Amino acid sequence: MTAVSLTQLAQHIDATISSPDKETLARAAEVIIERVAPLDRAQKGEVGFLNDKKYVASLSSTQASAVILTEKLANDYPGIALVVKDAYVGFALAAQLLNPTPKPHYAIHPSAFVDETAQLGNDVSIGPNAVIEADVVLGDNVSIGAGAVIRVNARIGHDSYIHPNVTVYHSCELGHHVVVHSNTSVGCDGYGYAPNAGTWITIPQTGIVRIGDYTEIGASTTIDRGALDDTIIGEHVIIDNQVHIAHNVVVGDGSCLCGGTMMAGSVNIGKNVVIAGTVAINGHISICDNVQITGNTMVTSDITQPGVYSSGMPHTPYSEWRRNSVRIKQLDSIFKRVKALEGQVQRIQSTPDDR
């Protein structure tokens, strides 16, 4: 278990230690923090956080040894506050420092297979039954989880963490500090087939996947290799679980792809784009920088201006949904009736009044 002094924690998250009570503040240097915890359940040795004033009532009852707060909210707290500009960012940094996830043990398990031509950096950890094929290059402090397969000529940069049962296909390149979670596939063949008189001719996918530094990829996600050019994922990208990225997609730096999102081949996503869950994007579409796309949206054309985009229908009571579904099917006939009525009105208005 990781444990740090309150002073160390404050330095790590760039916080000022504050308390309205001088005696409490004087004891702050002796406080030891072991975990992050929800504010309403935090106990001694734990740090909580609050970044929304509507939950400020929880401050009066929390048992946390300290609370991460903005300066404005710290005025309402009688205990020890770690005052930061952004409490959520402060919480994230504290959670990283106190992360209880076991660290790699820096060894090669006897059951792992490592080809003699593979190049391993310092302090590499390779778990049980993992496979490291010919000419693979692993940087310093790389961890390869149990059952993972790193295929011929793949490259993984230093301080990257490949979780159990991940497959990185041949010649793919992952940058530094990349995290790939379990059961994800990087570099499988893209969906390339040519129709030929009722059969399909497979088109070899000869590009690779390139993933930038500090990118994190969730579990059970698939990233296809390029057909001719490469599939490229930028730096500081976060990709959720069960996302599908087809061949030749480009994802710009700092973008976020949430769970269940799917995109067809040759989509080009700009920088700092946020795509919510279960979004579907047609192939050969470009999305400019600084776009947000809400959940269940179907993107069928280029997005050229920053902003928030949506489509689809929110949930409704079943009986209302059934009525609306019937009415949608009637739209064409209703349109024709309205056009006919408009024509009748125009004829009436154009007829001289004989009265």
Pair of tokens at residue 352: 């001289």
Q: Are residues 330 and 278 in the same domain?
A: no
* pLDDT tens digits for range 57-71: 888 889 999 999 999
Residue 163 bears catalytic tag: no
pLDDT given for residue 355 in this prediction:
55
Asked if residue 30 belongs to a domain, the reply is yes
CATH number at residue 15: 3.40.1390.10
Average pLDDT over residues 244-262: 98
Q: Does 73 have pLDDT greater than 80? A: yes
Q: Are residues 325 and 300 in the same domain?
A: no
Average pLDDT over residues 1-10: 89
Asked if residue 258 belongs to a domain, the reply is yes
Average pLDDT over residues 258-275: 98
Assign 353 a pLDDT band (cuts: 50, 70, 90). low
Q: Does 310 have pLDDT greater than 90? A: yes
CATH number at residue 207: 2.160.10.10
The count of domains in the chain is 3
Q: Does 1 have pLDDT greater than 70? A: no
Boundary (domain end) residue, out of 97, 117, 139: 97
* Beta strands 231-233 and 119-120, pairing class: unpaired
Q: Are residues 269 and 324 in the same domain?
A: no
Q: Are residues 328 and 272 in the same domain?
A: no
Asked if residue 149 belongs to a domain, the reply is no
**By residue range, what is the domain housing residue 295?**
169-309
Asked if residue 343 belongs to a domain, the reply is yes
pLDDT given for residue 24 in this prediction:
82
**Rounded distance, CA 269 to CA 336, Å?**
40
pLDDT given for residue 133 in this prediction:
98
From the CA atom positions of the chain, what is the Rg in Å? 28
Average pLDDT over residues 201-212: 96
**CB neighbours of residue 335 within 10 Å:** 10
Asked if residue 116 belongs to a domain, the reply is no
Boundary (domain end) residue, out of 97, 112, 135: 97
- Please spell the DSSP secondary structure of 264-285, one letter per residue: -TT-EE-TT-EE-TT-EE-TT-
Q: Are residues 67 and 177 in the same domain?
A: no
pLDDT given for residue 56 in this prediction:
81
Q: Are residues 276 and 214 in the same domain?
A: yes
Boundary (domain end) residue, out of 74, 97, 120: 97
Q: What share of the chain in percent tops pLDDT 70?
A: 99
Asked if residue 106 belongs to a domain, the reply is no
Prediction pTM value: 0.88
Average pLDDT over residues 8-24: 92
Asked if residue 133 belongs to a domain, the reply is no
Q: Are residues 289 and 333 in the same domain?
A: no
**Rounded distance, CA 212 to CA 224, Å?**
16
Extract long-range pairs of 51-57: CB within 8 Å, 24+ residues apart: 51/86, 51/87, 51/88, 51/91
Q: Are residues 334 and 291 in the same domain?
A: no
Q: Are residues 338 and 262 in the same domain?
A: no
Q: Are residues 298 and 337 in the same domain?
A: no
Catalytic pick among 236, 247, 284, 315:
247
Helix (H) or strand (E) holding 32: strand 32-33
Q: Are residues 202 and 258 in the same domain?
A: yes
Asked if residue 125 belongs to a domain, the reply is no
Q: Residue 326 carries which DSSP code?
A: H
* pLDDT tens digits for range 30-45: 999 999 999 989 999 9
Q: What share of the chain in percent tops pLDDT 90?
A: 82
Q: Are residues 207 and 85 in the same domain?
A: no
Name the nearest CA neighbour of 142 among 183, 103, 185: 103
Beta bridge partner(s), residue 82: 17, 68
